[in-house]
Protein backbone atom coordinates (compact mmCIF):
# COMPACT_ATOMS: atom_id res chain seq x y z
CA UNK A 1 0.00 0.00 0.00
CA UNK A 2 2.86 2.36 0.85
CA UNK A 3 4.38 1.62 -2.52
CA UNK A 4 1.13 2.56 -4.24
CA UNK A 5 0.86 5.85 -2.28
CA UNK A 6 4.49 6.62 -3.04
CA UNK A 7 3.85 6.00 -6.73
CA UNK A 8 0.70 8.15 -6.70
CA UNK A 9 2.54 11.00 -5.00
CA UNK A 10 5.07 10.96 -7.83
CA UNK A 11 2.50 11.21 -10.61
CA UNK A 12 1.92 14.37 -12.56
CA UNK A 13 -1.69 14.55 -11.33
CA UNK A 14 -0.51 14.85 -7.74
CA UNK A 15 2.36 17.25 -8.45
CA UNK A 16 0.46 19.61 -10.78
CA UNK A 17 -0.13 23.19 -9.68
CA UNK A 18 -2.14 25.99 -11.27
CA UNK A 19 0.86 27.31 -13.26
CA UNK A 20 1.20 24.02 -15.10
CA UNK A 21 -2.50 24.12 -15.89
CA UNK A 22 -2.26 27.68 -17.23
CA UNK A 23 0.67 26.75 -19.46
CA UNK A 24 -1.09 23.61 -20.71
CA UNK A 25 -4.00 25.84 -21.73
CA UNK A 26 -1.54 28.16 -23.53
CA UNK A 27 0.02 25.18 -25.31
CA UNK A 28 -3.42 23.96 -26.34
CA UNK A 29 -4.23 27.40 -27.76
CA UNK A 30 -1.02 27.26 -29.81
CA UNK A 31 -1.96 23.82 -31.12
CA UNK A 32 -5.45 25.04 -31.93
CA UNK A 33 -4.16 28.13 -33.78
CA UNK A 34 -1.64 26.05 -35.68
CA UNK A 35 -3.87 23.15 -36.66
CA UNK A 36 -7.36 24.64 -36.93
CA UNK A 37 -6.56 28.21 -37.97
CA UNK A 38 -3.37 27.40 -39.91
CA UNK A 39 -1.50 30.29 -38.23
CA UNK A 40 2.19 29.44 -38.83
CA UNK A 41 1.58 25.71 -38.19
CA UNK A 42 5.22 24.74 -38.75
CA UNK A 43 6.17 26.84 -35.74
CA UNK A 44 3.14 26.81 -33.49
CA UNK A 45 2.58 23.05 -33.56
CA UNK A 46 6.09 22.08 -32.33
CA UNK A 47 6.11 24.92 -29.79
CA UNK A 48 2.57 24.18 -28.62
CA UNK A 49 3.33 20.51 -28.13
CA UNK A 50 6.61 21.44 -26.45
CA UNK A 51 4.66 23.56 -23.96
CA UNK A 52 2.52 20.52 -23.12
CA UNK A 53 5.62 18.35 -22.71
CA UNK A 54 7.42 20.94 -20.60
CA UNK A 55 4.48 21.36 -18.26
CA UNK A 56 3.88 17.77 -17.33
CA UNK A 57 4.72 17.95 -13.62
CA UNK A 58 7.51 15.62 -12.54
CA UNK A 59 9.53 14.77 -9.50
CA UNK A 60 12.55 17.07 -9.53
CA UNK A 61 15.94 15.38 -9.43
CA UNK A 62 15.14 12.54 -11.81
CA UNK A 63 16.92 14.25 -14.68
CA UNK A 64 13.70 14.73 -16.63
CA UNK A 65 13.14 18.47 -17.00
CA UNK A 66 14.74 20.73 -19.58
CA UNK A 67 16.59 22.66 -16.87
CA UNK A 68 18.00 19.52 -15.23
CA UNK A 69 21.48 18.41 -16.22
CA UNK A 70 21.74 15.18 -18.19
CA UNK A 71 18.10 15.08 -19.21
CA UNK A 72 17.33 14.34 -22.86
CA UNK A 73 15.48 17.63 -23.21
CA UNK A 74 18.46 19.44 -21.71
CA UNK A 75 20.73 18.02 -24.40
CA UNK A 76 18.29 19.01 -27.12
CA UNK A 77 18.04 22.48 -25.55
CA UNK A 78 21.79 22.84 -26.10
CA UNK A 79 21.06 23.85 -29.69
CA UNK A 80 18.95 26.73 -28.43
CA UNK A 81 21.23 28.11 -25.71
CA UNK A 82 24.28 28.00 -27.96
CA UNK A 83 22.49 29.58 -30.92
CA UNK A 84 23.08 26.45 -33.01
CA UNK A 85 19.49 25.93 -34.20
CA UNK A 86 18.99 29.56 -35.32
CA UNK A 87 22.20 29.35 -37.30
CA UNK A 88 21.05 26.13 -39.02
CA UNK A 89 17.63 27.62 -39.70
CA UNK A 90 19.28 30.59 -41.38
CA UNK A 91 21.19 28.18 -43.63
CA UNK A 92 17.88 26.72 -44.79
CA UNK A 93 16.30 30.16 -45.12
CA UNK A 94 19.15 31.26 -47.36
CA UNK A 95 18.69 28.18 -49.52
CA UNK A 96 14.99 29.07 -49.87
CA UNK A 97 15.28 32.79 -50.53
CA UNK A 98 15.13 34.19 -54.02
CA UNK A 99 16.69 37.65 -54.04
CA UNK A 100 15.67 38.41 -57.63
CA UNK A 101 13.01 40.93 -56.70
CA UNK A 102 15.36 42.68 -54.30
CA UNK A 103 18.10 42.81 -56.92
CA UNK A 104 15.65 44.15 -59.47
CA UNK A 105 14.52 46.97 -57.15
CA UNK A 106 17.26 47.57 -54.53
CA UNK A 107 15.55 50.68 -53.19
CA UNK A 108 13.08 48.35 -51.43
CA UNK A 109 15.92 47.34 -49.13
CA UNK A 110 15.50 50.65 -47.34
CA UNK A 111 12.09 49.51 -46.13
CA UNK A 112 13.77 46.52 -44.50
CA UNK A 113 16.06 48.98 -42.72
CA UNK A 114 13.23 51.29 -41.67
CA UNK A 115 11.25 48.47 -40.11
CA UNK A 116 14.16 47.77 -37.76
CA UNK A 117 13.41 51.03 -35.96
CA UNK A 118 10.91 49.07 -33.87
CA UNK A 119 13.89 47.30 -32.30
CA UNK A 120 15.59 50.47 -31.14
CA UNK A 121 12.41 52.16 -29.88
CA UNK A 122 11.63 49.06 -27.87
CA UNK A 123 15.16 48.98 -26.49
CA UNK A 124 14.47 52.39 -24.97
CA UNK A 125 11.04 51.29 -23.73
CA UNK A 126 12.42 48.15 -22.08
CA UNK A 127 15.17 50.12 -20.34
CA UNK A 128 12.58 52.62 -19.13
CA UNK A 129 10.46 49.78 -17.71
CA UNK A 130 13.37 48.63 -15.58
CA UNK A 131 14.86 45.78 -17.60
CA UNK A 132 18.63 45.44 -17.52
CA UNK A 133 20.42 46.39 -20.79
CA UNK A 134 21.03 42.79 -21.93
CA UNK A 135 17.44 41.86 -21.18
CA UNK A 136 16.19 45.03 -22.89
CA UNK A 137 18.17 44.25 -26.05
CA UNK A 138 16.84 40.68 -26.10
CA UNK A 139 13.28 41.93 -25.77
CA UNK A 140 13.81 44.66 -28.36
CA UNK A 141 14.89 42.19 -31.03
CA UNK A 142 11.31 40.83 -31.04
CA UNK A 143 10.61 43.94 -33.14
CA UNK A 144 12.58 42.32 -35.94
CA UNK A 145 9.80 39.70 -36.07
CA UNK A 146 12.35 36.98 -36.58
CA UNK A 147 12.09 34.01 -34.23
CA UNK A 148 15.55 32.49 -34.80
CA UNK A 149 17.25 35.90 -34.50
CA UNK A 150 15.38 36.63 -31.25
CA UNK A 151 16.40 33.26 -29.83
CA UNK A 152 19.99 33.69 -30.98
CA UNK A 153 20.46 37.10 -29.37
CA UNK A 154 18.63 36.11 -26.18
CA UNK A 155 20.79 32.99 -25.88
CA UNK A 156 23.85 35.23 -26.02
CA UNK A 157 22.66 38.06 -23.78
CA UNK A 158 19.88 36.87 -21.46
CA UNK A 159 19.51 33.07 -21.62
CA UNK A 160 17.08 33.06 -18.68
CA UNK A 161 14.55 34.86 -20.90
CA UNK A 162 14.68 32.51 -23.91
CA UNK A 163 11.30 30.93 -23.13
CA UNK A 164 9.17 34.07 -22.86
CA UNK A 165 11.00 35.91 -25.66
CA UNK A 166 10.75 32.99 -28.08
CA UNK A 167 7.09 32.47 -27.25
CA UNK A 168 6.37 36.19 -27.65
CA UNK A 169 8.28 36.40 -30.96
CA UNK A 170 6.58 33.37 -32.48
CA UNK A 171 3.17 34.38 -31.13
CA UNK A 172 3.37 37.76 -32.79
CA UNK A 173 4.66 36.20 -36.00
CA UNK A 174 1.64 33.90 -35.99
CA UNK A 175 -0.63 36.85 -35.26
CA UNK A 176 0.57 38.89 -38.24
CA UNK A 177 -2.84 38.63 -39.93
CA UNK A 178 -4.35 40.19 -36.81
CA UNK A 179 -1.71 42.79 -35.92
CA UNK A 180 -0.47 44.20 -39.22
CA UNK A 181 -3.54 44.95 -41.40
CA UNK A 182 -5.12 47.50 -39.01
CA UNK A 183 -1.81 49.38 -38.74
CA UNK A 184 -1.37 49.32 -42.53
CA UNK A 185 -4.89 50.64 -43.11
CA UNK A 186 -4.57 53.25 -40.39
CA UNK A 187 -1.40 54.73 -41.86
CA UNK A 188 -2.29 54.69 -45.57
CA UNK A 189 -4.99 56.22 -47.72
CA UNK A 190 -6.98 54.16 -50.20
CA UNK A 191 -5.23 55.98 -53.02
CA UNK A 192 -1.87 54.89 -51.66
CA UNK A 193 -3.00 51.30 -51.26
CA UNK A 194 -4.03 51.27 -54.92
CA UNK A 195 -0.55 52.14 -56.18
CA UNK A 196 0.65 49.51 -58.65
CA UNK A 197 4.33 48.71 -58.64
CA UNK A 198 6.32 48.88 -61.86
CA UNK A 199 7.18 45.53 -63.41
CA UNK A 200 10.50 44.16 -62.19
CA UNK A 201 13.40 43.77 -64.58
CA UNK A 202 14.81 40.33 -65.26
CA UNK A 203 17.76 39.59 -62.99
CA UNK A 204 20.67 37.65 -64.47
CA UNK A 205 22.03 34.49 -62.92
CA UNK A 206 25.42 36.15 -62.45
CA UNK A 207 23.85 38.86 -60.29
CA UNK A 208 22.14 36.25 -58.16
CA UNK A 209 25.39 34.34 -57.73
CA UNK A 210 27.43 37.40 -56.80
CA UNK A 211 24.87 38.82 -54.36
CA UNK A 212 25.50 36.40 -51.44
CA UNK A 213 29.22 37.17 -51.55
CA UNK A 214 28.62 40.92 -51.71
CA UNK A 215 26.04 40.69 -48.91
CA UNK A 216 28.38 38.65 -46.74
CA UNK A 217 31.27 41.07 -47.12
CA UNK A 218 29.23 44.20 -46.57
CA UNK A 219 27.03 43.00 -43.71
CA UNK A 220 29.40 40.76 -41.79
CA UNK A 221 32.30 43.18 -42.04
CA UNK A 222 30.00 45.88 -40.66
CA UNK A 223 28.66 43.74 -37.80
CA UNK A 224 30.88 40.66 -37.37
CA UNK A 225 28.69 39.45 -34.51
CA UNK A 226 26.05 38.63 -37.10
CA UNK A 227 28.30 36.03 -38.79
CA UNK A 228 26.59 33.02 -37.15
CA UNK A 229 23.31 34.12 -38.76
CA UNK A 230 24.27 35.93 -41.94
CA UNK A 231 27.25 33.71 -42.71
CA UNK A 232 25.04 30.63 -42.95
CA UNK A 233 22.22 32.63 -44.58
CA UNK A 234 24.36 33.83 -47.47
CA UNK A 235 26.07 30.44 -47.70
CA UNK A 236 22.67 28.76 -48.11
CA UNK A 237 21.76 31.28 -50.78
CA UNK A 238 25.02 30.69 -52.62
CA UNK A 239 24.33 26.94 -52.59
CA UNK A 240 20.98 27.67 -54.19
CA UNK A 241 22.23 30.06 -56.83
CA UNK A 242 25.60 28.71 -57.88
CA UNK A 243 23.91 25.93 -59.86
CA UNK A 244 26.34 23.14 -59.03
CA UNK A 245 25.19 22.26 -55.51
CA UNK A 246 21.51 21.68 -56.05
CA UNK A 247 21.56 18.58 -53.85
CA UNK A 248 23.05 20.50 -50.92
CA UNK A 249 20.67 23.41 -51.38
CA UNK A 250 17.74 21.01 -51.56
CA UNK A 251 18.82 19.30 -48.32
CA UNK A 252 19.39 22.64 -46.58
CA UNK A 253 15.95 23.97 -47.47
CA UNK A 254 14.11 20.77 -46.58
CA UNK A 255 15.59 18.18 -44.22
CA UNK A 256 18.06 20.39 -42.39
CA UNK A 257 15.79 23.37 -41.71
CA UNK A 258 12.91 21.07 -40.82
CA UNK A 259 15.01 19.11 -38.33
CA UNK A 260 16.29 22.29 -36.68
CA UNK A 261 12.75 23.74 -36.58
CA UNK A 262 11.37 20.62 -34.90
CA UNK A 263 14.02 20.57 -32.18
CA UNK A 264 13.95 24.32 -31.71
CA UNK A 265 10.17 24.36 -31.48
CA UNK A 266 9.78 21.53 -29.03
CA UNK A 267 12.62 22.62 -26.75
CA UNK A 268 11.58 26.28 -26.70
CA UNK A 269 8.06 25.11 -25.88
CA UNK A 270 9.36 22.79 -23.17
CA UNK A 271 11.39 25.64 -21.68
CA UNK A 272 8.16 27.34 -20.60
CA UNK A 273 7.72 25.37 -17.39
CA UNK A 274 5.02 27.17 -15.44
CA UNK A 275 7.21 27.93 -12.43
CA UNK A 276 9.91 29.50 -14.65
CA UNK A 277 7.70 31.13 -17.28
CA UNK A 278 4.82 32.70 -15.36
CA UNK A 279 6.50 35.77 -13.91
CA UNK A 280 5.81 39.50 -14.10
CA UNK A 281 8.81 39.80 -16.42
CA UNK A 282 7.06 37.56 -18.96
CA UNK A 283 4.04 39.87 -18.92
CA UNK A 284 6.35 42.84 -19.56
CA UNK A 285 8.04 40.96 -22.38
CA UNK A 286 4.72 40.19 -24.07
CA UNK A 287 3.63 43.81 -23.75
CA UNK A 288 6.92 45.15 -25.13
CA UNK A 289 6.92 42.53 -27.88
CA UNK A 290 3.56 43.79 -29.14
CA UNK A 291 4.84 47.38 -29.00
CA UNK A 292 8.02 46.41 -30.87
CA UNK A 293 6.13 44.60 -33.59
CA UNK A 294 3.63 47.42 -34.06
CA UNK A 295 6.31 50.12 -34.20
CA UNK A 296 8.31 48.06 -36.69
CA UNK A 297 5.28 47.74 -38.97
CA UNK A 298 4.40 51.41 -38.63
CA UNK A 299 7.93 52.68 -39.21
CA UNK A 300 8.20 50.65 -42.42
CA UNK A 301 4.93 52.07 -43.75
CA UNK A 302 5.76 55.64 -42.73
CA UNK A 303 9.20 55.43 -44.30
CA UNK A 304 7.69 54.20 -47.55
CA UNK A 305 5.43 57.26 -47.57
CA UNK A 306 8.43 59.51 -46.97
CA UNK A 307 10.31 57.82 -49.82
CA UNK A 308 7.41 58.58 -52.14
CA UNK A 309 8.14 62.31 -51.78
CA UNK A 310 11.46 61.73 -53.53
CA UNK A 311 10.75 58.86 -55.94
CA UNK A 312 9.52 59.25 -59.50
CA UNK A 313 8.13 55.69 -59.56
CA UNK A 314 5.97 55.70 -56.42
CA UNK A 315 6.03 52.63 -54.22
CA UNK A 316 2.99 51.22 -52.50
CA UNK A 317 3.45 52.15 -48.81
CA UNK A 318 1.91 48.85 -47.73
CA UNK A 319 5.25 47.30 -48.68
CA UNK A 320 6.82 48.99 -45.67
CA UNK A 321 4.97 46.55 -43.41
CA UNK A 322 6.84 43.69 -45.07
CA UNK A 323 10.13 45.21 -43.93
CA UNK A 324 9.86 43.12 -40.77
CA UNK A 325 11.52 39.79 -41.34
CA UNK A 326 8.56 37.49 -40.76
CA UNK A 327 9.02 35.51 -43.98
CA UNK A 328 6.69 35.05 -45.78
CA UNK A 329 3.80 35.92 -43.46
CA UNK A 330 4.10 39.69 -43.61
CA UNK A 331 4.70 39.69 -47.39
CA UNK A 332 1.55 37.60 -47.83
CA UNK A 333 -0.40 39.98 -45.62
CA UNK A 334 0.75 43.02 -47.59
CA UNK A 335 -0.29 41.27 -50.80
CA UNK A 336 -3.71 40.41 -49.37
CA UNK A 337 -4.38 43.93 -48.10
CA UNK A 338 -3.36 45.29 -51.53
CA UNK A 339 -5.63 42.81 -53.28
CA UNK A 340 -8.55 43.63 -51.01
CA UNK A 341 -8.46 47.13 -52.53
CA UNK A 342 -7.67 46.07 -56.08
CA UNK A 343 -7.68 42.37 -57.04
CA UNK A 344 -5.32 43.10 -59.92
CA UNK A 345 -2.63 44.60 -57.70
CA UNK A 346 0.15 42.04 -57.27
CA UNK A 347 2.45 43.10 -54.48
CA UNK A 348 3.76 39.70 -53.39
CA UNK A 349 7.08 39.73 -55.25
CA UNK A 350 7.82 43.30 -54.17
CA UNK A 351 6.86 42.51 -50.58
CA UNK A 352 9.18 39.49 -50.63
CA UNK A 353 12.03 41.87 -51.51
CA UNK A 354 11.29 43.94 -48.39
CA UNK A 355 10.90 40.75 -46.37
CA UNK A 356 14.28 39.37 -47.35
CA UNK A 357 15.96 42.69 -46.63
CA UNK A 358 14.20 42.60 -43.25
CA UNK A 359 15.86 39.26 -42.52
CA UNK A 360 19.26 40.78 -43.27
CA UNK A 361 18.42 43.93 -41.30
CA UNK A 362 17.28 42.14 -38.15
CA UNK A 363 20.33 39.87 -38.19
CA UNK A 364 22.58 42.95 -38.46
CA UNK A 365 20.68 44.51 -35.55
CA UNK A 366 21.25 41.37 -33.48
CA UNK A 367 24.96 41.57 -34.26
CA UNK A 368 25.08 45.25 -33.38
CA UNK A 369 23.25 44.81 -30.06
CA UNK A 370 25.39 41.83 -29.15
CA UNK A 371 28.59 43.76 -29.79
CA UNK A 372 27.28 46.81 -27.87
CA UNK A 373 26.44 44.73 -24.81
CA UNK A 374 28.99 41.96 -24.80
CA UNK A 375 31.12 43.70 -22.18
CA UNK A 376 28.23 45.15 -20.11
CA UNK B 1 15.80 51.96 -11.93
CA UNK B 2 13.07 53.15 -14.28
CA UNK B 3 12.17 55.80 -16.83
CA UNK B 4 14.42 58.24 -18.64
CA UNK B 5 17.00 57.98 -15.90
CA UNK B 6 17.46 54.26 -16.60
CA UNK B 7 17.83 54.95 -20.31
CA UNK B 8 20.51 57.56 -19.66
CA UNK B 9 22.42 55.51 -17.09
CA UNK B 10 22.59 52.47 -19.35
CA UNK B 11 23.58 54.56 -22.36
CA UNK B 12 20.29 53.70 -24.06
CA UNK B 13 20.03 56.83 -26.21
CA UNK B 14 23.48 56.30 -27.70
CA UNK B 15 22.86 52.58 -28.29
CA UNK B 16 19.53 53.20 -30.00
CA UNK B 17 20.80 56.06 -32.13
CA UNK B 18 24.07 54.41 -33.13
CA UNK B 19 22.38 51.05 -33.73
CA UNK B 20 19.74 52.56 -36.00
CA UNK B 21 22.36 54.56 -37.85
CA UNK B 22 24.63 51.55 -38.40
CA UNK B 23 21.89 49.22 -39.67
CA UNK B 24 20.48 51.93 -41.90
CA UNK B 25 23.81 52.90 -43.40
CA UNK B 26 24.74 49.23 -43.86
CA UNK B 27 21.61 48.48 -45.84
CA UNK B 28 21.86 51.73 -47.81
CA UNK B 29 25.39 50.79 -48.89
CA UNK B 30 24.27 47.25 -49.75
CA UNK B 31 21.35 48.57 -51.81
CA UNK B 32 23.64 51.02 -53.63
CA UNK B 33 26.12 48.28 -54.44
CA UNK B 34 23.49 45.86 -55.73
CA UNK B 35 21.83 48.61 -57.74
CA UNK B 36 25.10 49.01 -59.66
CA UNK B 37 25.83 45.28 -59.86
CA UNK B 38 24.11 44.66 -63.18
CA UNK B 39 25.82 47.69 -64.73
CA UNK B 40 29.22 46.43 -63.63
CA UNK B 41 28.46 42.98 -65.00
CA UNK B 42 27.24 44.47 -68.26
CA UNK B 43 30.42 46.52 -68.53
CA UNK B 44 32.58 43.41 -68.17
CA UNK B 45 30.41 41.45 -70.59
CA UNK B 46 30.70 44.21 -73.20
CA UNK B 47 34.43 44.32 -72.66
CA UNK B 48 34.81 40.59 -73.15
CA UNK B 49 32.56 40.73 -76.21
CA UNK B 50 34.72 43.46 -77.71
CA UNK B 51 37.81 41.32 -77.24
CA UNK B 52 36.39 38.74 -79.62
CA UNK B 53 37.46 40.23 -82.93
CA UNK B 54 35.07 38.44 -85.23
CA UNK B 55 32.02 37.29 -83.38
CA UNK B 56 30.11 34.51 -84.99
CA UNK B 57 26.52 35.13 -85.91
CA UNK B 58 24.49 33.02 -83.55
CA UNK B 59 22.38 30.41 -85.24
CA UNK B 60 19.02 29.96 -83.60
CA UNK B 61 18.48 26.26 -83.29
CA UNK B 62 14.90 25.10 -83.17
CA UNK B 63 14.04 23.91 -79.69
CA UNK B 64 12.88 20.36 -78.99
CA UNK B 65 9.25 21.17 -79.56
CA UNK B 66 10.08 23.19 -82.65
CA UNK B 67 8.60 26.52 -81.67
CA UNK B 68 11.85 28.47 -81.78
CA UNK B 69 12.15 28.54 -85.57
CA UNK B 70 8.59 29.57 -86.34
CA UNK B 71 8.80 33.05 -84.97
CA UNK B 72 9.41 36.39 -86.58
CA UNK B 73 12.15 38.51 -84.90
CA UNK B 74 10.23 41.78 -84.42
CA UNK B 75 7.45 42.03 -81.88
CA UNK B 76 4.35 40.58 -83.59
CA UNK B 77 1.76 43.29 -83.95
CA UNK B 78 -1.13 40.94 -84.55
CA UNK B 79 -2.53 39.62 -81.30
CA UNK B 80 -4.28 36.76 -83.09
CA UNK B 81 -0.96 35.58 -84.41
CA UNK B 82 0.48 35.64 -80.91
CA UNK B 83 -2.48 33.73 -79.51
CA UNK B 84 -2.10 31.11 -82.23
CA UNK B 85 1.59 30.66 -81.42
CA UNK B 86 1.16 30.69 -77.65
CA UNK B 87 -1.84 28.39 -77.32
CA UNK B 88 0.06 25.08 -77.72
CA UNK B 89 2.61 26.26 -75.18
CA UNK B 90 0.01 27.34 -72.66
CA UNK B 91 -1.77 24.02 -73.01
CA UNK B 92 1.34 22.28 -71.69
CA UNK B 93 1.01 24.26 -68.46
CA UNK B 94 -2.49 23.10 -67.59
CA UNK B 95 -5.58 25.17 -66.88
CA UNK B 96 -4.03 27.55 -64.32
CA UNK B 97 -0.40 28.58 -64.31
CA UNK B 98 2.03 31.19 -63.02
CA UNK B 99 3.25 33.88 -65.38
CA UNK B 100 6.82 32.99 -64.47
CA UNK B 101 6.29 29.46 -65.85
CA UNK B 102 4.92 30.78 -69.11
CA UNK B 103 7.72 33.34 -69.29
CA UNK B 104 10.32 30.61 -68.80
CA UNK B 105 8.88 28.55 -71.67
CA UNK B 106 8.79 31.58 -73.95
CA UNK B 107 12.39 32.36 -73.15
CA UNK B 108 13.50 28.77 -73.75
CA UNK B 109 11.79 28.82 -77.14
CA UNK B 110 13.41 32.13 -78.12
CA UNK B 111 10.14 34.01 -78.44
CA UNK B 112 10.87 37.68 -78.97
CA UNK B 113 9.85 40.27 -76.37
CA UNK B 114 8.14 37.95 -73.87
CA UNK B 115 7.56 40.73 -71.30
CA UNK B 116 5.84 43.02 -73.79
CA UNK B 117 3.77 40.20 -75.20
CA UNK B 118 2.62 39.02 -71.78
CA UNK B 119 1.66 42.57 -70.87
CA UNK B 120 -0.30 42.92 -74.12
CA UNK B 121 -2.07 39.61 -73.45
CA UNK B 122 -2.98 40.69 -69.93
CA UNK B 123 -4.28 44.04 -71.13
CA UNK B 124 -6.43 42.38 -73.77
CA UNK B 125 -7.85 39.97 -71.13
CA UNK B 126 -6.47 36.89 -72.84
CA UNK B 127 -4.45 36.16 -69.74
CA UNK B 128 -6.91 36.39 -66.88
CA UNK B 129 -5.71 36.65 -63.25
CA UNK B 130 -7.26 34.04 -60.97
CA UNK B 131 -5.80 35.58 -57.83
CA UNK B 132 -2.69 34.52 -55.90
CA UNK B 133 -0.55 35.16 -58.98
CA UNK B 134 -2.20 32.36 -60.99
CA UNK B 135 -3.53 32.99 -64.50
CA UNK B 136 -5.83 31.24 -66.94
CA UNK B 137 -5.73 31.33 -70.72
CA UNK B 138 -8.76 32.78 -72.39
CA UNK B 139 -8.15 32.83 -76.16
CA UNK B 140 -10.58 35.03 -78.09
CA UNK B 141 -13.49 33.35 -79.82
CA UNK B 142 -14.27 34.00 -83.49
CA UNK B 143 -16.46 36.92 -82.53
CA UNK B 144 -13.68 38.32 -80.39
CA UNK B 145 -11.24 37.75 -83.24
CA UNK B 146 -13.15 40.16 -85.40
CA UNK B 147 -13.09 42.67 -82.61
CA UNK B 148 -9.36 42.21 -82.15
CA UNK B 149 -8.80 42.64 -85.87
CA UNK B 150 -10.83 45.82 -85.84
CA UNK B 151 -8.89 47.03 -82.82
- Contacts across the A-B interface (CB distance below 8 Å): 125
pLDDT at residue A319, rounded to an integer: 94
pLDDT at residue B74, rounded to an integer: 56
Nearest to B19 among A133, A344, A372 (CB): A372
The string of DSSP codes covering A6-68 is HHHHTSHHHH--HHHHHHHHHHHHHHHHHHTS-SSHHHHHHHHHHHHHHTS---TTSS-STTS
DSSP B98: E
- Closest by alpha carbon to A169, among A184, A150, A194? A150
- % of chain A at pLDDT higher than 70: 100
C-alpha B60/C-alpha B68 separation (Å) is 8
CB neighbours (10 Å) of residue A99? 23
For chain A, give the number of residues.
Answer: 376
Does A222 touch chain B if contact means CB atoms closer than 8 Å? yes
Residue in chain A closest to B38 (alpha carbons) equals A207
Residue in chain B closest to A364 (alpha carbons) equals B23
pLDDT at residue B48, rounded to an integer: 81
pLDDT at residue A29, rounded to an integer: 93
User: Which of B14, B27, B117 has the most A C-beta neighbours within 10 Å, making it the best mutation to test the interface with A?
Assistant: B27
Contact residues for A144 (Cβ-Cβ < 8 A; gap 6+): A116, A118, A119, A150, A296, A324, A325, A358, A361, A362, A365, A366
Q: Which domain holds residue A118?
A: 2-58+65-373
Q: Which pTM value belongs to this model?
A: 0.77
pLDDT digit string, tens, across residues A305-349: 999 999 888 899 999 999 988 888 889 999 999 999 888 888 999
pLDDT digit string, tens, across residues B102-139: 888 887 777 877 877 888 888 888 888 887 678 888 88
* Domain boundaries of chain B, sorted by first residue: 3-51, 68-150
pLDDT digit string, tens, across residues A155-171: 999 998 988 898 888 88
Closest Cα in chain A, distance from residue B13 (Å): 7
C-alpha B146/C-alpha B151 separation (Å) is 8
Decide: A77 and A271 in contact? Cβ < 8 Å.
Answer: yes
Q: What CATH number does the domain located at B68-150 have?
A: 1.10.10
C-alpha A52/C-alpha A161 separation (Å) is 19
Give A131-135's long-range contacts (Cβ < 8 A, gap of 24+).
A131/A281, A131/A284, A132/A158, A132/B10, A133/A373, A133/A376, A133/B10, A133/B11, A133/B12, A133/B15, A134/A158, A134/A373, A134/A376, A135/A161, A135/A281
Confidence of residue B144 (pLDDT cuts 50, 70, 90): low
Which chain B residues have a beta carbon less than 8 Å from that of A113? 23-24, 26-28
C-alpha A192/C-alpha A209 separation (Å) is 35
Contact residues for A196 (Cβ-Cβ < 8 A; gap 6+): A316, A342, A345
pLDDT digit string, tens, across residues B13-27: 999 999 999 999 999
Closest Cα in chain A, distance from residue B147 (Å): 24
Closest Cα in chain A, distance from residue B148 (Å): 23
- Closest by alpha carbon to A271, among A157, A167, A141, A148? A167
Q: Is A227 exposed, middle or buried (0-12, 13-18, 19+ CB in 10 A)?
A: middle
pLDDT at residue B150, rounded to an integer: 47
pLDDT at residue B151, rounded to an integer: 41
For chain B, give the number of residues.
Answer: 151
Which chain B residues have a beta carbon less than 8 Å from that of A122? none
> Is the CB of A123 less than 8 angstroms away from the CB of B29?
no
Q: Is B32 exposed, middle or buried (0-12, 13-18, 19+ CB in 10 A)?
A: middle
- % of chain B at pLDDT higher than 90: 19
Which chain A residues have a beta carbon less than 8 Å from that of B13? 124
Confidence of residue B146 (pLDDT cuts 50, 70, 90): low
Based on the structure, what is the number of domains in chain A? 1
Low-confidence ranges of chain A (pLDDT < 50): none
The string of DSSP codes covering A86-151 is HHHHHHHHHHH---HHHHH-GGGHHHHHHTTHHHHHHHHHHHHTT--HHHHHHHHGGGGT-HHHHH
Beta bridge partners of A267: none
The string of DSSP codes covering A161-204 is GHHHHHHHHHHHHHTHHHHHHHHHHHHS-HHHHTPPPPPPPPPP
Start-to-end CA distance of chain B, whole Å, equals 75
User: Which of A116, A120, A358 has the most B C-beta neighbours within 10 Å, making it the best mutation to test the interface with B?
Assistant: A120
pLDDT at residue A153, rounded to an integer: 94
Average the pLDDT over B33-58 and give the result. 78
Instruction: Find the largest Cα–Cα distance for chain B.
Output: 80
Residue in chain B closest to A215 (alpha carbons) equals B30
Q: Is the pLDDT of residue B54 over 60?
A: no
What is the gyration radius of the CA atoms in chain B, in angstroms?
26
Beta bridge partners of B127: B137
- A66 to A9, A161, A285, A320, B132: CA distances (angstroms): 21, 14, 21, 39, 43
DSSP B9: H
Closest Cα in chain A, distance from residue B33 (Å): 8
pLDDT at residue B143, rounded to an integer: 53
pLDDT at residue B145, rounded to an integer: 52
Contact residues for A168 (Cβ-Cβ < 8 A; gap 6+): A142, A285, A286, A289
A112: Cα separation from own chain's centroid: 14
User: Which of B5, B14, B15 has the most A C-beta neighbours within 10 Å, making it the best mutation to test the interface with A?
Assistant: B15
Amino acid sequence: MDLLFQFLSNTGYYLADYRNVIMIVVGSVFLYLGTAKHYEPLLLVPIGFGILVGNVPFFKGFGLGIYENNSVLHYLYFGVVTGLYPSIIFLGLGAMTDFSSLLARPVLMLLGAAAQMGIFFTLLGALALGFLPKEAASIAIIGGADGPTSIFLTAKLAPHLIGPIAIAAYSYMALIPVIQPPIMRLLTTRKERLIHMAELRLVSKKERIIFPAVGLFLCCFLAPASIPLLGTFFFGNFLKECGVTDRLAQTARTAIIDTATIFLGITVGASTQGDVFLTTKSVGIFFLGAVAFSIATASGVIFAKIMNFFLKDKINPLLGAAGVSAVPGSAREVHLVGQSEDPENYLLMHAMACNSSGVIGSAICAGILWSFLVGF
Amino acid sequence: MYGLKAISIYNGWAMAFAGALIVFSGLVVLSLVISQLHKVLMFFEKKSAAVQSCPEIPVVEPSEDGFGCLLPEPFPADLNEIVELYTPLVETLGESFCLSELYEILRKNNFPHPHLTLTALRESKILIPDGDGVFTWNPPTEHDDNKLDEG
